[in-house]
Amino acid sequence: MERIFDPATQIFLNLIVNLQKGTIQMPNKKLKEEHQIYINKWKNNAETFDAQKCYSWMAQKISTNQKKLILDIGCGDGTGLQALLSENDKLKIIAIDENIDCLKETQRKFSSQGFGTELIERCDLIYDNKYHGYNFKSIDKLPEQQITLIHSDLLSDPYIEPYLNSIGKFDAITIWLIGTHTERRHCMNIFPLNITSDAQYRLSVQNKAYELADEILIAGGILQIVDRGQAPNTELLKDDIINAHKDQASVTTLEVFDLDYMIYNEPINKSSVQMKTSVGGVFSEHNLSELAMTSILARK
């Protein structure tokens, strides 16, 4: 019977075969370049959003004063985590991101401010022509610092969910403005998901976040998802978003109970991560004259 390996293991096996054949490819520098491009652009976004108090608004929506332990999915440059800590400087935060440069920028930011911060790097990169893959290693230590940053991919890391379960129950999970770099489509770990667009990627991560929240949140714990796009300024638009999230939550015990939005302006600087709209339900791709950060809350 043919043995089936996980994607990262299969990449390693291919790598060994290529080494034996003498046909091994040089590491593709494109991934490293795109990681750096993304964080440089996102810092422009974060500065613009922070100036408009967007992150502060997001943090206030989940009442962090009553929270102790938060998981953040996709930390960006750390500006969102700053907003959480501004609401409650006693919070303990675990943050994960696939982009190692985002994690390093976040570590630099908080270390310079005197916060106890640890970055856990535990991924070997494997290359096969223009494609890349991650070989994730198990995590053998519990968080010791106030802010723990973990190099991980929520969609394909087999160790991250058991690890988070080992820490204990979380009070909240935040997934704000999730996005990614252009090389993500060349990651072999997520090939089985057949992700072909940014909208599909965002939906896949959010779906996984709902499932994870069902596992690791305390009873009454909160999952908060924030997206940017067309302002849901009619009941029809609000219902469209709520119903979409209720569908995502339908495979879990979570209950979607709140939608709120904040009008904002996109960065003028073209060197930023541009918003890519996805049209569905009653949304119109031509009605983007008023943009909003839209917060959805779901409770376990």
Contact (Cβ atoms closer than 8 angstroms) between residue 278 and residue 197: yes
Contact (Cβ atoms closer than 8 angstroms) between residue 240 and residue 188: no
Q: Could you give the dihedral angle defined by the CA atoms of residues 119, 124, 128 and 129, in that order, rounded to the nearest 10 degrees?
A: 40
Contact (Cβ atoms closer than 8 angstroms) between residue 164 and residue 212: yes
Average of pLDDT values for 235-257? 97
Note the helical H segments in the chain: 7-21, 30-51, 54-61, 79-87, 100-112, 160-167, 198-216, 235-249
Give the other-Cβ count within 10 Å of 107's Cβ. Answer: 19
Question: pLDDT by residue (tens digit) across 116-127?
Answer: 999 999 988 888
Tell me what pLDDT residue 23 has.
46
Topology of the domain covering 32-299: Rossmann fold (3.40.50)
Task: Kindly give, in sequence order, each residue whose CB lies less than 8 Å from that of residue 271, ignoring residues fewer than 6 positions away.
Answer: 40, 41, 44
Which pLDDT band, with edges at 50, 70 and 90, does 9 fall under? low
Average of pLDDT values for 136-146? 93
Place of tokens 């943090």: 59
- Break the chain down into helix, strand, coil percent, rounded to 5: 40, 25, 35
As given in the structure block, the two tokens for residue 137 are: 């290693």
Which of 20-24, 153-157, 175-179, 209-213 is least confident?
20-24
CA distance 152 to 181: 15
Tell me what pLDDT residue 283 has.
47
N- to C-terminal Cα distance for the chain?
A: 42
Mean pLDDT of the chain: 88
Give yes or no for residue 5 having a pLDDT over 70.
no
Tell me what pLDDT residue 277 has.
62
**Run of H or E including 143:** none
Average of pLDDT values for 81-91? 94
Which pLDDT band, with edges at 50, 70 and 90, does 281 fall under? very low
Tell me what pLDDT residue 26 has.
47
Residue type, 5: F
Average of pLDDT values for 80-86? 96
Average of pLDDT values for 89-110? 96
Q: In angstroms, what CA-CA distances link 35 with 97, 191, 194, 266? A: 11, 19, 21, 22
Beta-bridge partner residues of 296: 225, 259
Place of tokens 């991980």: 152
Question: Which 3 state secondary structure label does DSSP give 234?
Answer: coil
Contact (Cβ atoms closer than 8 angstroms) between residue 77 and residue 54: no
DSSP labels for 235-285?
HHHHHHHHHHHHHHHTTSS-EEEEEEEEEE---S-SSS--------TT--T
Give the other-Cβ count within 10 Å of 53's Cβ. Answer: 13
Angle, helices 100-112 vs 79-87, to 10°: value is 40
